[in-house]
Structure 1
Amino acid sequence: MTTRAVILGTGSALPTRRVSNAELAQQVDTTDEWIVERTGIRFRHIAGPDETTSTLATDAAKAALAAADLRAQDIDLIVLATATPDQTFPSTATKVQAALGIDDCVAFDVAAVCSGFLYAVQVADSMIRAGAHRKALVIGAETFSRLLDWEDRTTCVLFGDGAGAMVLAAEEQPGDGSDRGILSTRLHADGRHNELLYVDGGPSTTGTVGKLRMKGREVFRHAVVNLAAVMGESLTAAGLSSEDVDWVVPHQANARILDATARKLGLPSEKVVMTVDQHANTSAASVPLALDVAVRDGRIQRGDLIVLEAMGGGFTWGAAVVRF
């Protein structure tokens, strides 16, 4: 027998305001056709004044807890991935902890931008398998609209706000091919590519939040190569191949990246969960948000083998193989 971190439930949350490409085109020099052709994006949700990373994360966490049929007090670990925390400190995870009414548990943030949720999954999985914790909330939440330069049409049309969450719990599994839970994870980072995707501010440098800057063509090229490679690594580590995969739940950055990555792995597009058209790129929230959508609409069923993958600024990238 072996201890695995098993997914008990998923949840997500989106801001109230839904913004179409046509609405954006009234503010920015762009068109619906231009955005759809290059990205596949049609809508995104933008947080209002009373909606923050912590409020979205809390709503997603509550939905995941309800799906898992657990009380908030059952949780002893919260790992929250975000690049847009409510405050420089304390962590947004502690704000979620307080909002959920949990008096005491380990709670902290991780920062790996769009790959943040994969980093958070590996951290929580490691802590659960080590025996330090039994039930964890793993959350990806962003209000990326707060970092956007709304005069830069090449970036502001790409992003949206939202949150996704999952409940992981320690369960004893047989230790063979039938195991449920997190089967393998692989993470990478290469800081030499900082200038290709970054925010031009921070407490230690400018004392400001800054705005997002990106060289899209170079990011696209690295993304296709790195994502295909790390998905292959994670499957090999689990003793599996792409033929065993029921669903890929990728970071929702760009429809063309998703298509190119699937082709590189020889996976049919029907196996790729795609929500980028409705949510745009929600950074660390995009993988758990897409996962929750596919669970709730019935595509992903208990026992399905799924691969989660993402790449973001840094560069950071990673993948996880999970039997749901």
Structure 2
Amino acid sequence: MASEFRLDYGRSLTAGPSQLVAAWVEDDALSDVELVAVRQGVAEVICDAGLFSMNVADYCPRVPSLFPVRTPNDRVSSSNHRPNGNPRHEGSMLYERIARMKHLNVGIYGVGTYLPDQVRSNDFWSEPARRSWVERRRRQAGLTAVLKAGPKNAEAGPGEQIIISELERSKDDIFQGVDERRVMAEEMVSSDMEVSAAEQALACSGIRAQDVDFILTHSLVPDRLGSPNASAVQRQLGMRQDTLAMATEGACNSFQQQLLLAQAMIQTGSFRHGLIIQSAAPSRLLHMEDQISVTLGDGAAAAVLGPVSAERGILGAAHFCDGSVSPTAVCDPIDSPWYSARRNVFHVVDSKQGRKMLLSVADISNRAINEALRKAGLTAPDIDFYASHQGAKWMRRITQEHAGLASARFVDTFSRTGSLFSANIPFQLAEGCRMGMINDGDAVAMFSGGTGITWAATTLRWGH
């Protein structure tokens, strides 16, 4: 009986399963087995040479060592196998063992993006609106005076001093460095953008939609409250019905949180490939007379993840939360619950807390990045590419320099997209790949933060 034999996720060949197993044993290829799993009649073996999978349900008694065991040293004897070849311990013991294999590397196979066709330039905002913003800034009597309501310049730490200086330099730019941003067409919904980004990510990764085992979405503006956009994506992409589909919520930090969740899910052995998606459609929630509207844009991104070879994939991650800093930028009717009859709008709800969060960016990014580097066994000079949340023109540069990553390559997208919320980092990764700035084996570092507040850093090595 012929069966497919997959090696290193890309090459396939057909051979009889008994010959393949015999070849593995004779070549001693199983001597360094790190993980063995059996699901639905398919045996998966991960060793130093890569990942191997094939249908062995009809002959498993011949090779009892292929199947899950109670402890790493106990083998399941042939008497423990059912007549049809399925092992008795195919459930909880299998996944318990897999969960212990923390070294199973999970990485990004491909990234996709989507930007709407409609471009909104700075000319969209009227002259009266611009004048009102300038006058409001003048009434503040200079940004430094306002900042003294928080930590005074003389008392501010080095990281805060850097941010204060940047804010002072940019105070006369009412568009904050954004030249244009994209706007989703009136007839579209967020899941339309998400599907387009997902299709591109799948094409880039070489993974079929039918081979994806789970979908995680973060939608700033979901199609409907109470129903995850992940379900709409599953339907439009024609994915299997046994695909796990769920929404995640971490504001602008959602992408890195999704990475961590996807890594953990794949490492359990219950899932092989995952699709994570991020979308932003702030145009649906903005008051155009609010100056924050000039810094935000619509768009979506997606990434496909799965097992990768040793020394590739996610190497270290550090996640933090400080609930004492109340949400700063939110979507609600202003001074009313979001479920009231009034229209929800995106706005800054607490300017003092917003200032506190902004002034902390350099320091919290440095802390998170250094922790992610430590967990990965890397140092700052090892990083080849850096991507960050781009909530301001200066954010990528300041966080990169403050963490000592000055030699790393980068892509700035803020001036032509505005902030894309949780899609900022994957958009930069996609751009970096297209421009040849991220190559196989490159070490990548990421930083982002979200209202709440949460923040995180991740280090990974690019490629399969």
**TM-score, with normalisation over the residues of structure 2?**
0.64
Task: Give, in whole Å, the separation in 2 of the partners of 1:35 and 1:4.
Answer: 47
Question: Deviation above 4 Å: which 4+ runs of structure 1?
Answer: 30-38, 201-205
Change (3 A) 1:65 1:48: same
Deviation at 1:205, TM superposition (A): 5.0
1:274-301 CA distance string (max 9 Å, x none): 1111111011111111111111121111
> Corresponding residue for 1:149?
287
Unpaired segments of 5 or more residues in structure 2? 1-33, 35-102, 135-169
AA of the residue aligned to 1:145: S
Deviations 1:67-87 (A, max 9, x none): 112211010111112222111
Cα deviation digits, residues 197-217 of structure 1 (max 9, x gap):
222348765355622222354
Bigger Cα displacement from structure 2, 255-264 vs 297-306 = 255-264
Higher relative contact order (CA 8 A, sep 6+): 1
Query: Partner residue of 1:188?
Result: 320
In the TM superposition, residue 225 of structure 1 has moved relative to its aligned partner by 2.1
Which deviates more, 22-31 or 192-201? Answer: 22-31
> Distance in 1 between the 2:324 and 2:341 partners?
23
Is 1:263 the counterpart of 2:395? The answer is: no
1:90: Cα distance to partner? 1.3
Deviation per residue, 1:9-37 (Å, 9 max, x gap): 11100111111223335584269997857
Residue 317 of structure 2 aligns to a residue in which SS?
strand
Change (3 A) 1:305 1:92: same
Q: CA RMSD in A?
A: 2.3
Partner of 2:111: 10
Report the counterpart of residue 414 of structure 2 in structure 1: 276
Among candidates 216, 219, 222, match of residue 85 of structure 1: 222
The verdict on how the C-alpha distance between 1:4 and 1:29 changes in structure 2, with shifts beyond 3 A counting, is same
CA distance 1:269–1:147, shift in 2 (3 Å): farther
Report the count of equivalent residues: 318
Per-residue displacement from partner, 1:171-202 (whole Å, max 9, x unpaired)?
Answer: 3x33xxxx111112222222222243222348
2:362 counterpart of 1:228: no
CA distance in 2, matches of 1:317, 1:209: 29
Alignment of 1:107-118 (within 5 A): 107-118=245-256
Q: Secondary structure at the match of 1:255?
A: coil
Q: Which moved more, 1:110-119 or 1:263-272?
A: 263-272
In structure 2, the partner of 1:94 is 231
Q: Over alpha carbons, which structure has the higher Rg? A: 2
- The 8 Å contact of residues 6 and 169 in structure 1, kept in 2 or not, is answered as yes
Deviation at 1:252, TM superposition (A): 1.6
Q: Measured at CA, do residues 148 and 131 of structure 1 come closer, stay the same or move farther in structure 2, by a change above 3 Å?
A: same
Aligned sequence identity (%): 29
The equivalent residue for 2:204 is 67
Matched residue, 1:213:
347
Q: Distance in 2 between matches of 1:270 and 1:242?
A: 9
Say whether 1:136 aligns with 2:274.
yes
Q: Aligned partners of 1:136, 1:203: CA distance in 2, in Å?
A: 34
* Paired AA for residue 385 in structure 2: W
Q: Deviations over 1:105-128 (max 9, x none)?
A: 001111111001111111111101
8 A Cα contact 2:130 2:174, kept in partner: no
Secondary structure of the residue aligned to 1:322 is strand
